[in-house]
Amino acid sequence: MKTLEIAIEGAIPTDVGIEIAKRACYCDQLITSCRFIEAGGILHIELQDNANLEDVEIKARKLVAKMKSGRLQIKPEIIRQRETTRSSLFAASGADYTGLYRQGLGTMARGEEFLEILARIDRLFQRLGVEHFGAVPQEYNVLIPTDWLRKAGYLSSFPHSLTFAIHLKEDYDGIARFSERHAGLKELNLDSIDEFETPEYCLSPAVCYHTYGLLSSTHFTPDDNGLKVFTAVNRCFRYESKNMANVERLWEFSMREIVLVGERDRVLKERERGLDMIWKMVEMFDLTAFIETAVDPFFTSDFQSKRFFQLANQLKYELRMPVRDNDTIAVGSFNYHEDFFGDRFGIQTADGSRVHTGCIAFGLERFVHAVLLQLGVDETRSRLQAAEQLFLGK
């Protein structure tokens, strides 16, 4: 095992250092892990023995230079915070739940206690959307048109996270050669990228892109009262390299979203109402948690400017919960996109102006994992029953 350490010159916010470390995993296939050491501002990289340290250092320094330049003075701001009233932060049996099985890099099977709690929490979020926001339930495909992601800016802003759905070209000779190469259960051998068609579809990285795609080139009517709300749950896919070590960061995960589309004031009001409602749920569960302004994981090409814009305008809030001492994960987010998607997808309000959009999103595996660590299975079940009675009259 080899080690590379790069001192990041000049003071940088902790969140930027953490994002640099996450992105550094993409610099080379032989990197095994990366982390940011706040004391001293060090990017610490571990690599396989056959890695070329000089080449990796050149790439990593390019990454650091891209991500640390620009307007980094602004920092995330905590807007709500609470500590549990319990005597200890984590339940003694919190990590002992059953039903989560690692299948491979960034993938896990779900069952038993974990799946039971996940299904109940998702039903709670789904019914909150329908009964408190008037959301129309939707069911989307896992496949999403690549062109929708292009319109959404995903190909340029998040290229490192893409998962393409590819297939062999319709060519008899090419398919026959592929079949022959794999006769006798031989391992996958991709002879040439030319064997494949340009991907028309990707595996969906988020739920809300489906909503905007389906609303493309539509106009609201006065009967819509300036707002349409949808809710859906789907499996989503974001490749995150060596960062995908456990349930806290998966390649394939479940996301429940409440998607807001309409006039600016209506979207912002509903986002705030959703934040209030979820915070009330956090209080009911007596969880240690906080909500802070946050940034999407943009690639280096536009990280600095978009980070500044999102934080300065409070476009994204994240609900974060602890998973270890001094370590938290985001389990939900409350997002406002201004009229960006209204413009990209040609969606208009009744008066012909571009719609504004927002979404309230939950990474269900993360949410369940963080809650179970604090409460354990039995207490989580009890708190869920109380929340169902309060919010849903169940």
Instruction: Write out pLDDT tens, residues 184-240.
Output: 888 888 877 888 999 999 999 999 999 999 999 999 999 999 999 999 999 999 999
Q: How confident is the model at residue 374 (pLDDT cuts 50, 70, 90)?
A: very high
Predicted model pTM: 0.90
Instruction: State the Cα torsion 371-373-374-380 to the nearest 10°.
Output: 50
Pair 143, 179 in one domain: no
Tell me: pLDDT of 49 over 70: yes
Cα 230 from Cα 291, distance rounded (Å): 24
pLDDT band at 73 (very low <50, low <70, confident <90, very high): low
Q: What's the CATH number where 30 sits?
A: 3.30.70.100
227 is written with which tokens? 């707002």
Provide the 3-class DSSP secondary structure of residue 316. strand
End-of-domain residue from the set 26, 46, 68? 68
Say how far apart CA 334 and CA 300 lie, in whole Å.
Answer: 23
**Do 172 and 234 sit in the same domain of this protein?**
no
Same domain as 219, residue 361: yes
> 228 with 370, same domain?
yes
When pLDDT is cut at 50, 70 and 90, the band that residue 106 belongs to is: very high
Helix axes 364-392, 264-284, angle to 10 degrees: 90
| pLDDT reported for residue 390 | 81
Average pLDDT, the chain: 93
- Give the pLDDT of residue 329: 97
Do 222 and 101 reside in the same domain of the chain?
yes
Are 27 and 152 in a shared domain?
Answer: no
Which one has a higher pLDDT value, 73 or 247?
247
Same-domain pairing of 62 and 86: no
- What is the pLDDT, as a whole number, of residue 93? 87
Residue 264: give the domain boundaries: 78-158+205-392
Residue 200 lies in a domain: no
The CATH number for 224's domain is: 3.30.930.10
Answer whether residue 306 shows pLDDT above 80. Answer: no
Domain count along the chain: 3
Backbone angles phi, psi at 44, to 5 degrees: -105, 120
In a domain? residue 73: no
Say which range, 20-29, 163-172, 292-301, 331-340, has the weakest mean pLDDT.
292-301
288 in the same domain as 187: no
pLDDT 10s digits, 5-47: 999 887 788 888 888 898 899 899 999 999 999 888 899 999 9
Q: Round the CA-based radius of gyration of the chain to a whole number and report it.
A: 22
Question: 272 and 381: one domain?
Answer: yes
Sequence-separated (6 or more) residues with CB below 8 Å from residue 30? 47, 48, 50, 51, 56
| Predicted pLDDT at 150 | 98
Q: Are residues 181 and 33 in the same domain?
A: no
Q: In terms of domains, do 275 and 215 share one?
A: yes
The more confident residue out of 68 and 79 is 79
- Give a yes or no: residue 277 inside a domain: yes
Q: Of 26, 13, 63, which Cα lies nearest the Cα of 308?
A: 13
Spatial separation of the C-alpha atoms in residues 46 and 281, rounded to whole Å: 40
Kindly tell me if the per-residue pLDDT of 149 is higher than 90: yes
**Residue 74 or 94, more confident:** 94
Examine the fold and report which residue of 68, 90, 105 is the final residue of a domain before the chain moves on: 68
Q: Are residues 209 and 358 in the same domain?
A: yes
User: Is residue 41, in this structure, part of any structural domain at all?
Assistant: yes
In angstroms, the CA 118 to CA 308 distance is: 34
Backbone angles phi, psi at 352, to 5 degrees: 90, 0
